[in-house]
A and B are shown apart, each in its own frame.
Chain A
Amino acid sequence: MEAAMGLMRRIPPKHTDTALTALLSLLPHHSSDLLSQVDQPLQVMCDEDCGKDFILCEYNRDADSYRSPWSNKYYPPLEDGSLPSVELRKLEIEANDIFAIYCDQYYEGGTSSVYMWEDDNEGFAACFLIKKDGSKTGQGRRGYLEEGAWDAIHVIEVGPEEEGTTNYRLTSTVMLTLTTNNESSGSFSLSGSIRRQMSMRLSIADGHICNMGRMIEEMESKLRNSLDQVYFGKTREMVCTLRPPSEVAQMRIPEN
């Protein structure tokens, strides 16, 4: 398993899918560990009842079917598929409505889904997902990207209430690929994945959705910022180390 995770840190993030399939076939007895530890690009399915897309993940899967957060139905249809309690489903519906607006405001498009389930220690857990295709053939408004995918996975464990406060433990992963391609500079592609955690004890006076939402918003901004500034910045530094943009080189440009 350690070696498998080591490989996942090195294989280009845009090949995550292929790498995971390969590892699953080499290590069939580790399949559940692999599926839970390796984040995969998100898949989308259409909820035919309301004509809306929803995102697939381990948390809305039962057997080979996936539950839509919009109609609460399984696709393909599944009898006795597990469902959240009535009360939790109410919270889930509200979370989906609000998160869809959040998604629209930050992503100008994209698909979002929120799933909730009861966990063993009197609390519950929720998973907030966003998938955005930012390519110019997808939902890229500015049309800069030949290829552009952003997948965000936020899993929050909500602890039991104690004296008006609750502990929230958030684990977030962002996976992205962006490729620009043009005549003068060729193809330029950055792909990456990072995962971070954050825990907070918050008063439940503001409500779970408000608390979870603020944490996710803060985390997404942090992740976006560190990808942009730190991770992309480091690759840029590397390019400049390999071939510094020196004045010497500038001077050697022929004066046609």
Chain B
Amino acid sequence: MAEEEEAELSDKQKIEIAKWFLLNSPPGEIQYVAKDVKSILNDDDVYHEAALEAFSLYNKSHMISLEMPDRSGDVLVTSFGELEENAYLDPRTTQVAIVDHVKQVCTEVRPATDEELPSPFIEEFRCALDAEILKYVGEAYPKGVCSVYCANGKDVEGLGSDFELVVVISASKHSPQNFCNGSWRSVWNILFKDDLQIVEVQGKMQVGAHYFEEGNVQLDTKHECKDSTLFQAPEDCALSISSIICHHETEYLASLEASYLNLSDSTFKDLRRKLPVTRTLFPWHNTLQFSLTRDLTNELGIGK
């Protein structure tokens, strides 16, 4: 009895376990995972505490998009736009979306204050880039949502200082009736370096997909890359940055395709071949010979 009590988990441990399950939910599936976790825990207080912590982390790391109630479009939930735990800036509409993390909805919006927005100087660069990225995402992603934030130096008033913008692109497709969900996330850090007169571009792309009809198969990819361009006027910077992003993302997609192409013929072979080294089905009807001359056959087998 004493031992059993020791083995009993504390609420804190249960919360940690519940959070682990929630945070490991595939794209678009946290609500389903939450339902199962809730029923396993059978303790609403523990569940709510875990959900409160896990949902906001999940929403931010998956960069989910939520519809704003006034029909002004979608807001991305990202750490770059986070003003408070449940308040996210939408730079394009200069609004702040109030978000219910666990329900994954935007409940209201308010206009952003001047302090929450970048200076007019930064805004010129940000807006120009946003317009180009919006055009690109509209063409490349059937359901992409994008946002350009100022990550550093939002109060810079003019040339002479460094600042940093961040481009976030998030596209997801949820098709539970077809047992398939997926998401594409890319984050591009754009560093404007005044002293060197260059703009450094650092990208991180991440793709996840889950197919679960009578099974559970998941794709998980990550890639990082770097590039740079000249520090120019806002419109020129916007054009060259967006073409850099387009170029790298297109290349990345092609490399994913290549990985898939290599899969069945070469990569998968290192796990299991389609046919034995002898290229014929295994001679089960004639296995007696194996037991007698196993070593010999073995050598022949490997030698193909």
Give the B-binding residues of A (Cβ under 8 A): 3-4, 6-13, 15, 18-19, 22-23, 25-28, 94, 97-98, 101-102, 104-108, 132, 134-135, 140-145, 148-150, 176, 178, 180, 184-196, 206, 209-210, 213-214, 217, 220-221, 224-225, 227-229, 231-232, 234-239, 241-246, 248-250, 252-254
CA of A180 to CA of B266, assembled, Å: 12
Residue of B nearest to A194 (CB): B215
Number of A-B contacts (CB under 8 A): 279
User: Would you call B142 an interface residue if the criterion is a C-beta within 8 Å of the partner chain's C-beta atoms?
Assistant: yes
Q: Cβ of A210: which chain B residues have Cβ within 8 Å of it?
A: 284-285, 287
Q: Is the CB of B217 within 8 A of A188?
A: no
Q: Which of B34-42, B75-83, B151-159 contacts A (4 or more CB under 8 A)?
A: B34-42
A98 to chain B minimum Cβ distance, whole angstroms, is: 5
B6-50 contacts to A, CB under 8 A, are 7, 9, 13-14, 17, 20-21, 24-26, 29, 32-33, 35-37, 39-41
Q: Among the interface residues A10, A142, A206, A228, which one has the most CB atoms of the partner chain B within 10 A?
A: A10
Q: Is the CB of A25 within 8 A of B17?
A: yes
Give the A-binding residues of B (Cβ under 8 A): 7, 9, 13-14, 17, 20-21, 24-26, 29, 32-33, 35-37, 39-41, 136, 139-144, 171-173, 180-184, 205, 207, 209-212, 214-224, 240, 243-244, 246-247, 249-250, 252-260, 262-264, 266-278, 281-282, 284-285, 287, 290-291, 294, 297-298, 301-302
DSSP class of A's interface residues: helix, strand, loop or mixed? helix
17 pairs across A/B with beta carbons < 8 Å? A4-B40, A8-B216, A11-B216, A13-B216, A15-B24, A19-B24, A23-B40, A94-B291, A97-B290, A101-B297, A185-B252, A235-B211, A239-B209, A242-B171, A245-B250, A246-B139, A249-B249
Q: Cβ of A192: which chain B residues have Cβ within 8 Å of it?
A: 215-218
B35 to chain A minimum Cβ distance, whole angstroms, is: 8
A45 to chain B minimum Cβ distance, whole angstroms, is: 22
Q: Is the CB of B258 within 8 A of A185?
A: yes
Q: Is the CB of B216 within 8 A of A220?
A: no
CA of A187 to CA of B222, assembled, Å: 5
Knowing A26-B41, A243-B249 touch, does A193 contact B216 (C-beta < 8 A)?
Answer: yes
Which among B35, B36, B215, B294 is the interface contact of A101 at CB below 8 angstroms? B294
